């Protein structure tokens, strides 16, 4: 392989009604080849009805070092969950 | 297919009594402690997380050896595709060999998340710098070997790989889940093939027995050296890359496989093999470790042939890779030159030049 074939992230929709899910990556010179390679590598057993390929370089990811700053504030807001509220057992359909 | 035996080979400059954390500045030592705490809590490590340099090195080596084994593993079976005895068997064998290529690609992908490039990995294999499973240095002499390889070699691989689905490194574990699903087909088609032969003519039965005779011990050796001689075991266990010792996995394999051989009416080539009522396990005879290490060193029946074939395939594919790049470049140029003149009719020349790729 010549150095520098771009990396593509592969997302597969297993059936209509479900979201595309990340399954892995492939190297390819262009998007068409990436789709073909993804089809051969990740859907040999009818795993999908649709494939997305996205250049890995196009993905912006959150920094693991920012994990606390990003996600901790949600940790003490348990009132955002329905189970936070006590409703008498006699009250139905709520 | 896979063996973990290779990851036990002593590294070039690893002093096991040396604790790297002792030399680290305090913050890095505490990072190691936090890392180990996450591992102990069964958290998974993802590519962008902090990890000790040796954890990264160990994983790159193990995943690369695993990937190379899948790629080289195509050869012993590819050997029989043109001579499969029926269309059904041929279709199955092609699908299996294609799976091995796929497994190699999942694994290269997982290794690359650790910062090694695909080109480096491929170079390491074709230069012989990084090893692959020694089992693939044995020849596939008869059609029955397609059965024995699927049943025994893939069977041993499954024993090794199922615990790897819970490996502490996320991308490796996820690759293993896919591999294990597919590996089950490999083992079952192999056993079915052995079953057909062992229910066939006396010649076919003899072929099946001969294949078992030649593949039994190499399959037993796939689990790697005995725990007593295992260099890296303690560390990889603590990091939860590995969860069972070589001997534990080997014992599990023997316990499930011996009854399968009995069902086929075949004899396991080990005069010392017997069921131990006290332990509830089969005891086996001594393993010829001299043979194992000779094959690992490069003196197996097919080492040179396997590498030469891999190297030739890589070199002979150079023009295909060049053509793919040229096609992509042309497509881009055409797109760019047609964009400003959108009103003009599309180029009529078909993109036939790209079809070689």
Q: For chain A, what percent of residues have pLDDT higher than 90?
A: 72
Which residue in B108, B134, B103 sits closest to B4, CA to CA? B134
Asked if residue A54 is part of any domain, the answer here is: yes
- pLDDT tens-digit readout, B116-153: 999 999 999 999 898 899 999 999 999 999 999 999 99
Asked if residue A67 is part of any domain, the answer here is: no
Asked if residue A88 is part of any domain, the answer here is: no
Q: In Å, how far from its chain's centre is CA A71? A: 18
**How far is it, in rounded angstroms, from Cα B243 to Cα B238?**
9
Question: For residue A68, what pLDDT band results from cuts at 50, 70 and 90?
Answer: confident
Q: Cβ B102–A41 below 8 Å, yes or no?
A: yes
How close is the nearest chain A Cα to the Cα of B165, in Å? 15
Asked if residue A31 is part of any domain, the answer here is: yes
Which residue in B158, B176, B349, B123 sits closest to B260, CA to CA? B158
The predicted structure's pLDDT at residue B340: 63
Asked if residue A26 is part of any domain, the answer here is: yes
The predicted structure's pLDDT at residue B8: 42
Tell me the CATH number at A19.
3.10.20.520
**Tokens standing for B232?**
């890296």
Lookup result for tokens 């680290």: B24
Chain B residues 299-318 within an 8 A CB cutoff of chain A: none
- pLDDT tens-digit readout, B39-79: 999 999 999 999 999 999 999 999 999 999 999 999 999 99
For B243, counting Cβ atoms within 10 Å of its Cβ (0-12 exposed, 13-18 middle, 19+ buried), the class is middle
- pLDDT tens-digit readout, B187-225: 999 999 999 999 999 999 999 999 999 999 999 999 999
Domain that holds residue A19: 7-61
Question: Which DSSP helix (H) or strand (E) runs through B196?
Answer: helix B170-198
Question: For residue A4, what pLDDT band results from cuts at 50, 70 and 90?
Answer: confident
Say whether residue B355 is in contact with chain A using an 8 A CB cutoff.
no
Res. B81: pLDDT tops 90: yes
Range with the largest mean pLDDT of A18-27, A57-66, B4-13: A18-27
| Phi, psi for residue B149 in degrees, rounded to 5 | -65, -45
How close is the nearest chain A Cα to the Cα of B324, in Å? 7
Average confidence (pLDDT) over B277-301:
94
CA dihedral B196, B202, B205, B210 (to 10 degrees): -150
Question: Which DSSP helix (H) or strand (E) runs through B204?
Answer: helix B202-221
Q: Testing the interface with A: which of B35, B45, B99, B105 to mutate, by most A Cβ within 10 A?
A: B105
Determine the longest span between alpha carbons in chain B, in angstroms. Answer: 86
Chain B residues 183-202 within an 8 A CB cutoff of chain A: none
Which residue in B255, B283, B256, B249 sits closest to B159, CA to CA? B249
Q: Look at residue A35 and give its three-state secondary structure.
A: helix
Res. B347: pLDDT tops 90: no
Asked if residue A52 is part of any domain, the answer here is: yes
A-B C-beta contacts closer than 8 Å = 46
Of A30, A44, A63, the CB nearest to B102: A44
Say whether residue B35 is in contact with chain A using an 8 A CB cutoff.
no
CA dihedral B86, B211, B267, B181 (to 10 degrees): -70
Asked if residue A23 is part of any domain, the answer here is: yes
**Residue B120's closest chain A neighbor by CA?**
A3
> Is the separation of the CB atoms in B70 and B2 below 8 Å?
yes
Say whether residue B325 is in contact with chain A using an 8 A CB cutoff.
yes
**Tokens standing for B185?**
């087909």
**How far is it, in rounded angstroms, from Cα B139 to Cα A40?**
28
Res. B28: pLDDT tops 80: no
Asked if residue A44 is part of any domain, the answer here is: yes
Q: Would you give the DSSP letter of residue B168?
A: S
Q: B340 or A25: whose pLDDT is higher?
A: A25
Report the domain count for chain A.
Answer: 1
Res. B355: pLDDT tops 70: no
- The answer for residues whose C-beta is within 8 angstroms of residue B38's C-beta and 6 or more apart is B45
Q: Cβ B102–A40 below 8 Å, yes or no?
A: yes
Range with the largest mean pLDDT of B18-27, B170-179, B328-337: B170-179
């Amino acid at each position: 392989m010549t150095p520098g074939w771009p990396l593509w992230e592969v997302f597969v929709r297993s059936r209509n009604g479900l979201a595309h899910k990340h399954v892995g990556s492939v190297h390819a010179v262009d998007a068409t080849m990436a789709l073909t390679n993804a089809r051969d590598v990740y859907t040999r057993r009818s795993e999908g009805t649709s494939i997305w390929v996205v250049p890995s370089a196009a993905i912006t990811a959150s920094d693991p070092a920012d994990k606390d700053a990003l996600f901790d504030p949600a940790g003490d807001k348990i009132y955002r969950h329905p189970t936070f509220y006590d409703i008498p057992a006699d009250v139905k359909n709520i | 297919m896979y063996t973990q035996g290779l990851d036990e080979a002593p590294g070039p400059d690893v002093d096991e009594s040396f604790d790297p954390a002792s030399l680290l500045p305090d913050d890095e030592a505490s990072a190691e402690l936090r890392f180990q705490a996450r591992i102990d809590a069964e958290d998974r490590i993802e590519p962008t997380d902090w990890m000790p340099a040796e954890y990264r090195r160990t994983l790159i080596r193990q995943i690369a050896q695993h990937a190379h084994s899948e790629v080289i593993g195509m050869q012993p079976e590819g050997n029989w595709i043109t001579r499969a005895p029926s269309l059904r068997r041929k279709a199955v064998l092609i699908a299996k060999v294609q799976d091995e290529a796929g497994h190699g690609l999942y694994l290269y992908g997982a290794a690359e998340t650790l910062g090694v490039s695909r080109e480096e990995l491929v170079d390491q294999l074709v230069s012989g710098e990084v090893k692959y499973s020694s089992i693939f240095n044995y020849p596939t002499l008869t059609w029955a070997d397609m059965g024995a390889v699927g049943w025994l070699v893939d069977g041993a691989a499954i024993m090794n790989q199922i615990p790897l689905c819970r490996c502490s490194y996320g991308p490796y574990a996820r690759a293993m889940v896919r591999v294990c699903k597919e590996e089950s087909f490999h083992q079952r088609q192999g056993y079915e093939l052995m079953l057909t032969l062992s229910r066939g003519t006396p010649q076919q039965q003899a072929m099946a027995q001969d294949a078992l005779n030649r593949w039994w011990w190499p399959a037993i050796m796939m689990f790697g050296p005995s725990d007593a001689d295992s260099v890296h075991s303690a560390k990889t266990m603590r990091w939860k890359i590995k969860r069972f010792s070589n001997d534990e996995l080997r014992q599990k394999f023997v316990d499930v496989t011996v009854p399968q051989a009995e069902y086929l009416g075949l004899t396991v080539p080990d005069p010392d093999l017997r069921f131990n009522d006290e332990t509830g396990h089969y005891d086996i005879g001594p393993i010829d470790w001299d043979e194992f290490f000779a094959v690992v060193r490069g003196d197996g029946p097919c080492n040179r042939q396997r590498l030469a074939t891999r190297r030739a395939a890589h070199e002979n594919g150079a023009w295909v890779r060049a053509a793919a790049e040229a096609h992509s470049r042309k497509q881009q140029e055409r797109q760019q030159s047609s964009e400003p003149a959108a009103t003009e009719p599309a180029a009529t020349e078909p993109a036939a030049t790209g079809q070689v790729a």
